[in-house]
Structure 1
Amino acid sequence: MKLIVFLGSVRESTPPSPPRLGQRVAQACVQHIQNLQGVEVELIDPLDYEFDSVFKPHFSYHQKDTPKQLQTLAEKIQQADGYVMVSPEYNHSMSPALAHLLNHFGASLFSYKPSAIVTYSAGQWGGTRAAVSMRSFLSELGCLPVSAMIHVPKAHEVFDEQGLLREQDAERGWQSYFARTFNQLWWWAQATQKQRAACDPKQLVKDFKRDPSQRNAP
């Protein structure tokens, strides 16, 4: 089973301080997922990808003209069995960096697989309001989020630069909190993986392709 953790931040400067707070949370997610049975996990950092200044999604290119980085990431998304979306909160919504990254790809790559929502903040709310809007966004992509979510307030006090817990006496509480969400994700990813093999959903529910104006939706 393959899972992808998407980091929804491209900010390296200060303020805010410390910079790249989301990287700590994403690393903590990766470390927890690595303990799940039979799971490969990869962290996708948007800073590792260069996109054209003019937005053009993956499905708008002729195959031979698709930028190599975009095609590589599209293949990783298609091959994955589930996704973890890590985002701060901007105006009660998900980060522009995460939305921009995900919007490069059609729902046909994500659909019929589960996702998990992880939000964080330097303040007291942990990005919970962003998580509300992320549910509808991810549902539209076709990777329905599991019911349990992870919210990390004052994340700089919880995790160090490597995503390790700062206070060992808090380890049991955070481990069980993360486990609730990622065990759900693991269960659903196993179920959908088996069902996709038993019944190809794209044969059961056809994509909209009758007219160029129609989305390539599940």
Structure 2
Amino acid sequence: MASSSGKALKFVLFLGTVRDNNMGSRAASFVMKKLKEKGHDATLLDPEVLGLPLLKKPLHFYEDRTQAPQVLQDTVKVIEAADVYMVITAEYNQCLPPALTNMMDHFPIPAYKYRPSGIVCYSMGSFGGIRAAIQARSLLGELGSPSLGCFVIPQIQNELSEDGTLKGENKERLEKNADKIITELAWLGDAIKSKKDSEGFPKL
């Protein structure tokens, strides 16, 4: 069952790193598989694939959005169509990766509002990127997309294969934690979607 009501939800995943040989693609592959197994639609926004420049002019700085680069026009439609967001982040110098914030800052706050979010943080060390996750919760909250919690993957190189398959000794625990956050996000995402479908978002 996709959600408590049996509806498939639209998840958008924001990948946070473009560094060579990064581990984020492993985490993204794992989460994408889990979402699809549960019957949800999942779209990955990868800053390297999008190829957005260093932020100079975000979408909302264009008086006429049809004059914005096509990649911004197309991507904002994906973001606005989502029911739930998930941020997949590493930790750079104990902070969020710049590729993540650069990508997300290209789009206005109203594009993100009224959708729940979750955080998948990871590292090759024992902390699992949790310091970046703390910052991600603040960012998502300011975007109007409150975070329900974090799915933490310490020593990701030992826990996930390149194709996103769990392989380590913590397989059972990680599987359970992933199921938990997806279930919680789907429950709240479904509730908000039902409200939106019946009444629309607040007009402020």
The normalised TM-score by structure 2 is: 0.90
Please list every run of 5 or more consecutive structure 2 residues that lacks an aligned counterpart in the other structure: 1-8
**Any idea what SS the aligned residue of 1:5 has?**
strand
The answer to whether the Cα contact below 8 Å between 1:114 and 1:185 also exists between their aligned partners in 2 is yes
**Any idea what SS the aligned residue of 1:193 has?**
helix
Cα shift at 1:201: 2.4
Residue 111 of structure 1 is matched in structure 2 by 113
Q: Give the Cα separation in 2 of the matches to 1:96 and 1:53.
A: 10
Cα shift at 1:170: 4.2
**Any idea what SS the aligned residue of 2:202 has?**
helix
The answer to whether the Cα contact below 8 Å between 2:122 and 2:152 also exists between their aligned partners in 1 is yes
- Alignment partner of 1:7 out of 5, 15, 25: 15
Cα shift at 1:173: 2.0
* Identical-pair percentage: 29
Q: Give the Cα separation in 1 of the matches to 2:173 and 2:89.
A: 21
Residue 45 of structure 1 is matched in structure 2 by 46
- Alignment partner of 2:27 out of 17, 25, 28: 25
**Any idea what SS the aligned residue of 2:114 has?**
coil
**Any idea what SS the aligned residue of 1:10 has?**
coil
The answer to whether the Cα contact below 8 Å between 2:55 and 2:102 also exists between their aligned partners in 1 is no
Aligned CA RMSD, in angstroms, stands at 1.4
Alignment map for 1:59-138 (pairs within 5 Å): 59-61=60-62, 62-138=64-140
Residue 155 of structure 2 is matched in structure 1 by 154
Cα shift at 1:91: 3.1
Shift in alpha-carbon separation, 1:117–1:173, aligned structure 2, 3 A:
same
The answer to whether the Cα contact below 8 Å between 1:5 and 1:85 also exists between their aligned partners in 2 is yes
Q: Give the Cα separation in 1 of the matches to 2:55 and 2:183.
A: 39
Q: Deviations over 1:146-188 (max 9, x none)?
A: 1x31111110111111011124x64322211111111111111
**Any idea what SS the aligned residue of 2:37 has?**
coil
Shift in alpha-carbon separation, 1:92–1:177, aligned structure 2, 3 A:
same
How many equivalent pairs are there?
Answer: 195
Residue 164 of structure 2 is matched in structure 1 by 163
The normalised TM-score by structure 1 is: 0.85
Q: Give the Cα separation in 1 of the matches to 2:53 and 2:67.
A: 13
The answer to whether the Cα contact below 8 Å between 1:93 and 1:130 also exists between their aligned partners in 2 is yes
Is the radius of gyration larger for structure 1 or structure 2? 1
Shift in alpha-carbon separation, 1:53–1:137, aligned structure 2, 3 A:
closer
